[in-house]
Amino acid sequence: MALLQISEPGQTAAPHERKHGIGIDLGTTNSLVATVRSGTAEPLADTEGEVILPSVVHYGESGEVLVGRKAMALVSSKPFDTLQSVKRFMGRGRADVGSDGYRFVESEGGMLSFETAAGAVSPVQASAEILRVLALRGEQTLGSNIDGVVITVPAYFDEAQRQATKDAATLAGLKVLRLLSEPTAAAVAYGLDSGDPGLVAVYDLGGGTFDISILQLQKGVFEVLATGGDSALGGDDLDRVIVEWALPQHGIEAPDAGLYRTCLNLAREAKEFLSEHTEVEVLIPGQPTLTLARQEFEGMIQALVLRTLRACRRALRDARVEASDIDSVILVGGTTRVPLVRASVAELFGREPLSSINPDTVVAVGAAAQADVLVGNKPDGELLLLDVIPLSLGLETMGGLMEAIIPRNTTIPIAKTQEFTTYKDGQTAMAIHVLQGERELIADCRSLARFELQGIPPMVAGAARIQVRFQVDADGLLSVSAREETTGTESRITVKPSYGLSDTDIADMVRASWEHAEDDMQARQMAEQQMAANQLLEQLQAALDADAEALLSEQERAELEAEMQALAVLRQSGTRQKLKTAVAALGRSSEVFAARRMDASIKQALIGVSVDTLDSDGGLG
């Protein structure tokens, strides 16, 4: 008699069949892929035994696309067609960047693209090529299709940059299980989830971005308490320091694109050499050799390292902890091999940082461990990853004010609802303006999206009940919906901006919120007072147009209109206190008119109603 194979409810009928998930570290300078094999997460090598894939893509005239080392070899001879460090351009617009040795074009929607021999290429398309190569490496190594991928992103990536990364994965034909913050991936790689509870600082200085994250680890839960950093600060900037030191010594003021890109690669090699030696020879093609000492190099990059330490201190303040409270410090990114960086981090936190896992591969290893969980290989051992949003999300309200719905450093996924109402009588539509930032006025925040809620029933101002819901998923992507409660009319949008913040916008926005806190509060109070003046003037003017002739003498009307004119002038040029006083004075002056209107309204309502129809409580029977 044959046996029929069955399974437990909710379990696969082939429990011995293992699913394959991969983790990809899509880096600025280098990228790599890792997976879990025989219970251990490890990076995967290509056919030549190389684990690291340079994040370089070349587009040829005949349409051929080269990725990695083959593309790297064409950086000098084909600088405009060979794209390096495209991660720095993800989710950004043309106005956000300089030349960087490329020819840029702006496509529809404001997205930045590179002009190459094969036509316009966006950072999303170039990133997709890198992802395809890494995914193919995974498939060839594992001998099967990939069931899902976890891709890491800097913790400080904003909405546009995260969405651009997810778009690149979709374009590459990958099923994205999650976008995982690089610091969290590093903590997973070190297995800190299985250790004692504690606070961990992850200092991540890669090729193009810097992140600092403060994590609370307890019982398998990774909670990001605070995050900070700079989306345009990394090893590339240290390389530029060397180039800017070397070229003027040879009298080269404006190198062509090919020479500049060559110099950047030579500077990177010099930087790496100085991590192990006290001096290095820098040879620019066709020029005499220069000698750069490590001590001189450290003096040149001191300001950049201090920028990372300031971000660390801000993250500690946001997490409400001291540097001495940190139990472990993890170094991530190849740039952390620079001795000055390691020494500075150790001094700040008062302990030697962990670096036993290769800082170039640690993020991919952690992503692979999480991918193994999410494809279903470890249903009983799932890690709970609680990330946070880097900047507050909110709406524009009347007076050009930013109303934060989800504050920065809120744990995600998260959904929050807030109720709003109409500003004018008979308003049948509402414009929803979604913003990101830390300032009080919308002019100082970043616009993410706009949409309209139509079909609001005409009511008096303030009567409508409109619920606006913000939802941020585990990948940090935002969707917003608005619903009018009386009719059920609803409108929604997935926030997918075409481009993101400029190089230092995120860090600048947070810093500016502290530096201008008092000014912002005064500006908000002024805007609120101006809005109160506007409402009073509009309502009073409507009342005068309707009933002034019947209820006011010419002198009374003239006095009210004179006060209204004075308030209109103060609204534009007066101080907040003067405006507040004028609003209160006009309110008192219009009380008699308001009382007469109410009396007239009651008399009109009672015309034709006899005393007999009134009940004992004085109401209408």
Strand pairing category for 148-153 and 21-25:
parallel
Spot the catalytic one: 204, 211, 230, 438: 204
Q: Which helix (H) or strand (E) is 404 found in, with range?
A: strand 401-406
Long-range residue pairs from 216-222, CB within 8 A, at least 24 positions apart, any chain: 217/187, 217/192, 217/193, 220/193, 220/194, 220/381, 220/382, 220/383, 220/384, 221/383, 221/384, 221/386, 222/184, 222/187, 222/188, 222/193, 222/383, 222/384, 222/385, 222/386
Say how far apart CA 92 and CA 88 lie, in whole Å. 8
Neighbours of 352 (CB within 10 A): 11
Peptide bond into 413 cis (omega under 30): yes
Say how far apart CA 366 and CA 181 lie, in whole Å. 10
Say how far apart CA 284 and CA 260 lie, in whole Å. 10
Q: What are phi and psi of 363, to 5 degrees?
A: -70, -45
Residue among 255, 251, 165, 267 nearest 207 (CA) = 267
Cβ pair 180, 367 in contact under 8 A: yes
Say how far apart CA 236 and CA 230 lie, in whole Å. 13
Residue among 569, 396, 500 nearest 89 (CA) = 500
DSSP conformation letters of 77-123: TSTTTEEE-GGGGTT-BGGG---TT--EEE-GGGBEEEEETTEEE-H
| Residue in this structure with the two tokens 């109070």, named with its chain if needed | 525
Strand pairing category for 446-454 and 429-436:
antiparallel
Write out the two tokens for 607.
Answer: 């015309």
Q: What are phi and psi of 74, to 5 degrees?
A: -105, 5
Q: Is 96 a catalytic site residue? A: no
Spot the catalytic one: 96, 182, 193, 438: 182
How far, rounded to the nearest angstrom, does the alpha carbon of residue 452 sit from its chain's CA centroid?
23
Q: Is 578 a catalytic site residue? A: no
* 377, HSE (Cβ side, Cα atoms, 13 Å): 22
DSSP conformation letters of 151-187: EEE-TT--HHHHHHHHHHHHHTT--EEEEEEHHHHHH
Beta strands in 2-91 (DSSP E): 21-25, 30-37, 40-43, 53-54, 56-59, 65-67, 82-84
Q: Is 496 a catalytic site residue? A: no
Q: Is 19 a catalytic site residue? A: no
Secondary structure (H, E, C), 464-511: CCEEEEEEECCCCCEEEEEEECCCCCEEEEECCCCCCCCCCHHHHHHH
Q: Which residues are catalytic?
A: 25, 87, 182, 204
